[in-house]
Chain A
Amino acid sequence: MESTEQPRSISGSMQSPRSPSLQPYLSVSVTDPVKLGNGVQAYISYRVITKTNLPEYQGPEKIVIRRYSDFVWLRDRLFEKYKGIFIPPLPEKSAVEKFRFSAEFIEMRRAALDIFVNRIALHPELQHSEDLRTFLQADEETMDRFRFQETGIFKKPADLMQMFRDVQSKVSDAVLGKEKPVEETTAAYEKLKHYIFELENHLAEAQKHAYRLVKRHRELGQSLLDFGKAVKLLGACEGEPTGKAFSDLGTKSELLSIKLQKEAQQVLMNFEEPLKDYVRYVQSIKATIAERGTAFKQHCELAETTKLKEINLDKLMLTRSDKVGEAEIEYREIKAESEEATRRFERIVTRMEEEIVRFQEQKTEEMGVAFHQFAKGQARLACSIADAWKSLLPKLEASSAV
Chain B
Amino acid sequence: MMGSEDDQESKVKMETLFLREESNSNSNYRSAMSTLSDSRHPSIVVTPADSDPLFAPPSYYNESRSKPNGGNRDSSSYLEPPSYADVIFSPFDDNSEINGSDDGGSSLHSQSSDSLSRSPSSLTSDYIKITVSSPQKEQESTNSMIPGGTTYVTYQITTRTNLSEYGGGSEFSVRRRFRDVVTLADRLAESYRGFCIPPRPDKSVVESQVMQKQEFVEQRRVALEKYLRRLASHPVIRNSDELKVFLQAQGKLPLATSVDVASRMLDGAVKLPKQLFGEASSSVEVVQPARGGRDFLRLFKELRQSVSNDWGGPKPAVVEEDKEFLEKKEKMYDLEQQIINASQQAESLVKAQQDMGETMGELGLAFIKLTKFENEEAVFNSQRARANDMKNLATSAVKASRFYRELNSQTVKHLDTLHDYLGLMMAVQGAFADRSSALLTVQTLLSEISSLEGRAEKLEAASSKVFGGDKSRIKKIEELKETIKVTEDSKNVAIREYEQIKENNWCEVERLDRERRADFLNMMKGFVVSQVGYAEKIANVWTKVAEETSQYNRESS
Q: Give A residues with C-beta under 8 Å from B.
A: 191, 195, 198-199, 202-203, 205-206, 208-210, 212-213, 215-217, 219-220, 222-224, 226-227, 229-231, 233-234, 236-239, 241-242, 245-246, 249, 356-357, 360-361, 363-365, 367-369, 371-372, 374-376, 378-379, 382-383, 385-386, 389-390, 392-394, 396-397, 399-401
Contacts and interface: CB of A to CB of B under 8 A. Distances in A.
A393 B539 contact: no
**What is the size category of the interface that chain B forms with chain A?**
35 or more
Interface string B514-544: 0011101110110111011001101100110
Contact of A237 (B338, B389, B550): B338
Contacts of A363: 382, 386
Contact of A364 (B70, B389, B529, B553): B389
A203 B370 contact: yes
Contact of B346 (A205, A227, A401): A227
Interface stretch (B49-57, B198-206, B241-249, B347-355): B347-355
A213 B70 contact: no
Interface majority SS (helix, strand, loop, mixed), chain B? helix
B531 A385 contact: yes
A243 B182 CA distance: 36
Contacts of B367: 206
A392 B523 CA distance: 13
B345 A238 contact: no
A191 B522 CA distance: 61
Contact of A367 (B78, B345, B390): B390
Contacts of A246: 520, 524
Contacts of B400: 378
B546 A397 contact: no
A230 B535 CA distance: 23
Interface majority SS (helix, strand, loop, mixed), chain A? helix
A118 to B, nearest CB: 14
A374 B548 CA distance: 12
A375 B396 contact: yes
B383 to A, nearest CB: 6
A350 B463 CA distance: 133
A369 B554 contact: yes
A199 B542 CA distance: 26
Contacts of B521: 241-242, 245, 396, 399-400
A227 to B, nearest CB: 4
B393 interface: yes
B362 interface: yes
Given A223-B349, A382-B536, A401-B11, 15 more contacts: A206-B367, A210-B363, A212-B359, A227-B346, A230-B346, A231-B342, A231-B345, A234-B335, A237-B335, A363-B386, A367-B390, A371-B392, A393-B69, A393-B70, A401-B14
A385 B532 CA distance: 7
A386 B536 contact: yes
A187 to B, nearest CB: 12
Chain A CB within 10 A, most for which of B386, B527, B529: B386
Contacts of B402: none
A363 B383 CA distance: 9
B344 interface: yes
Given A216-B356, A374-B393, A401-B14, A238 B335 contact: yes
B377 A367 contact: no
Contacts of B360: 213, 216
Contacts of B362: 209, 212
A229 B518 CA distance: 21
Give 5 closest A-B pairs by Cβ, nearest first.
A382-B539, A368-B552, A386-B535, A375-B545, A379-B542
B525 A223 contact: no
